[in-house]
Amino acid sequence: MKAIVNATLVMRDHLIPEAVLFIEDGMIAGFGEMRTTPVPEGCETLDAGGLFVGPGLIDIHTHASDRVFFIDDPIAAARHHLRHGTTTVLPALYFSMDQQGWLDSIACIRKAMADPRCANIGGLYMEGPYLNPKFGCDKENNPWRGPIEKAQYQPIIDAAKDLARVWCVAPEREHILDYVRDVKAANPNAVFAVAHSEAEPFQLDAVKPYGLRIGTHHTDATGTIEKYPEVKGVCVDEYVNFHDDIYAELICDSRGIHVDPFMLRLVRKIKGDDRIILISDAYAADGPTPPGYDGVYDINFDWTGEIAGSKLTLDVACRNMMKHTGASIVNVFQFASYNPAQATGFTDRGEIAVGKRADLILTDYNMEVKTILIKGEEQP
Ligand SMILES: [Zn+2]
């Protein structure tokens, strides 16, 4: 048995200062205040020195580290996120690949998951292939503009079915339900996300019974319908905001560029703290920093100077969320661990509770991650 002593435990809705947490066989075996919870003799101890101890961060949507895509170097990308406290990550596969590209990428991640250095890779986030080709970086090269065809998509579903936890769709695509049904047949546990879309509510309603659980990078690449010249129509954002059971992913960068700080506060108010998921959506397009953005370290630009995802990790996203919305450390652990775990079916992790995996991080009040444990083992 191992004990983390002098910890400030970050629970789902409160803190336990001056606490101890016990780990046995990679799982959380117990916890409590030190004054009432004695540490058994001979127990290996890790002194947290008063730091916060919370559940490891869970990033369900990210393409890259700060410089390399998962599909080009999964070990480097996985290690980068791990060093920033992400103990579970779903590499996101993107749309501008042909069928063979998707199959190769799935095979690459599957192989990486057998490597102990990628212990934090937990599956796949399928950002495509059937999105609205109007949206997203590199949209000019989207090869999935044509009709939805089973011969094109079924091999991808078959290759990814046990790994893919989230499938993104643009519900306005013609015959999308054929594809949605085939995804669900291959993996009944998969959930859907609405992404790169300008669907109207009736089109989203059609997908919802199959498990539409997530709004992908909420308020980014979600389109706006103009009903009449002077009247705003309703579209994806309004739908996600309306439905209490749909989670909203947020990219929270330091400047509030992906999502304006006011919008972050509005989404917090509308969705509530139990439906917000922080994602990094890191991308490695790696163009030069355009004028006016000097010193901005957590946004990624392509070679035209357009914003192309982020260079975030979830620790930084948490810090930004505290700054922009006044969220507490308890709140951000919920946004970056418990909620993403719940949305994607990781019921064995995402909170400090007896019987959950001892995926834990030690951080200061500013989400500077000091120590990372996966299944109770300190990560190098
Ligand atoms: Zn996207």
Same structural domain for residues 44 and 64? no
- Residues 293-308 have pLDDT tens digits of 887 878 888 777 777 7
319 CA from centroid of ligand 1 (Å): 22
How many residues in total does the chain contain? 380
Q: What is the distance in A from the centroid of ligand 1 to the CA of 8?
A: 36
What is residue 247's predicted lDDT score, i.e. its pLDDT? 98
Answer whether residue 82 is part of any domain: yes
Assess whether 294 and 270 both reside in one domain. Answer: yes
Query: Tell me, what's the pLDDT at 118?
Result: 97
What is the helix (H) or strand (E) element at residue 155, kind and residue range?
A: helix 150-160
Q: What's residue 296's pLDDT?
A: 81
Identify whether the C-beta of residue 190 lies closer than 8 Å to the C-beta of residue 169. Answer: no
> What number is the average pLDDT over the span 256-272?
96
Residue 100: pLDDT over 80 = yes
Q: pTM for the whole thing? A: 0.96
Question: What pLDDT, in 10s, does the model give residues 317-373?
Answer: 999 999 999 999 999 999 999 999 999 999 999 999 999 999 999 999 999 999 999
Q: How far is CA 288 from CA 132, 253, 257, 284, 316, in A?
A: 27, 18, 17, 12, 21
In this structure, are 70 and 48 located in the same domain? no
Q: Is residue 357 part of a domain?
A: no
- Which of the pair, 287 or 29, is modelled with greater confidence? 29
Chain segment 50-81, per-residue pLDDT in tens: 999 999 999 999 999 988 999 999 999 999 99
Q: What is the pLDDT of residue 223?
A: 82
Separation of CA 1 and ligand 1 centre (Å): 43
195 CA → ligand 1 middle, Å: 7
Q: State the distance from the centre of ligand 1 to the C-alpha of 5, rounded, in angstroms.
A: 41
Do residues 96 and 192 share a domain?
yes
Residue 257 domain flag: yes
**pLDDT for position 96:** 84
* CATH number for the domain that contains residue 39: 2.30.40.10
Q: Is residue 183 included in any domain, yes or no?
A: yes
DSSP letters, 167-217, are EEE-TTSTTHHHHHHHHHHH-TT-EEEE-S----HHHHHHHGGGTEEEETT
Q: What is the CATH number of the domain that holds 80?
A: 3.20.20.140
pLDDT in tens, 194-210: 999 999 999 999 999 99
Residue 31 lies in a domain: yes
Instruction: Measure 93 CA to ligand 1 centroid, in angstroms.
Output: 10
Phi, psi for 11 (deg, rounded to 5): -90, 180
Task: Read off the pLDDT of residues 171-200 as tens digits, 9 standing for 90 and up.
Answer: 999 999 999 999 999 999 999 999 999 999
pLDDT at 248 over 90: yes
For residues 85 and 180, state if they share a domain.
yes
Question: Do 101 and 169 share a domain, yes or no?
Answer: yes
Ligand 1 geometric centre to CA of 127 (Å): 7
Domain enclosing residue 123, as ranges:
57-347
Please state which of the ranges 62-71, 110-119, 165-174, 224-233 shows the lowest mean pLDDT: 224-233
Whose structure tokens read 């947290």? Answer: 48
- Domain for residue 372, yes or no? yes
The rounded Å distance from CA 136 to ligand 1 centre is: 6
Same domain for 212 and 131: yes
Instruction: Tell me how far apart the alpha carbons of residues 304 and 326 are, in angstroms, rounded to a whole number.
Output: 34
Q: Are residues 123 and 44 in the same domain?
A: no
How many whole angstroms from 309 Cα to the centroid of ligand 1? Answer: 8
Are residues 78 and 18 both part of a single domain? no
Q: Are the C-beta atoms of 352 and 28 separated by less than 8 Å?
A: yes
Residue 360 lies in a domain: no
Given pLDDT bands bounded at 50, 70 and 90, which one contains residue 94?
Answer: confident
Question: Residues 155, 201: one domain?
Answer: yes
Ligand 1 centroid to residue 264 C-alpha, Å = 18
Are residues 107 and 239 located together in one domain of the fold?
yes
Residue 185: per-residue pLDDT: 96
Q: In this structure, are residues 217 and 61 in contact, taking their beta carbons and an 8 Å threshold?
A: yes
| Distance between CA atoms of residues 127 and 135, nearest Å | 12
For residue 155, the CA-to-ligand 1 centroid distance in Å is 22
Quick check: is 155 in a domain?
A: yes
Residue 285 and residue 371 share a domain: no
- The Å distance, Cα 188 to ligand 1 centre, comes to 24
pLDDT greater than 80 at residue 287: no
Distance (angstroms) between ligand 1 centre and the Cα of 179 equals 19
Read off the DSSP letter of residue 296: -
Q: What is the pLDDT of residue 239?
A: 97
Integer-rounded Cα Rg, in Å, for the chain is 21
83 CA distance to ligand 1 centroid (A)?
24
Q: How many domains are contained in the chain?
A: 2
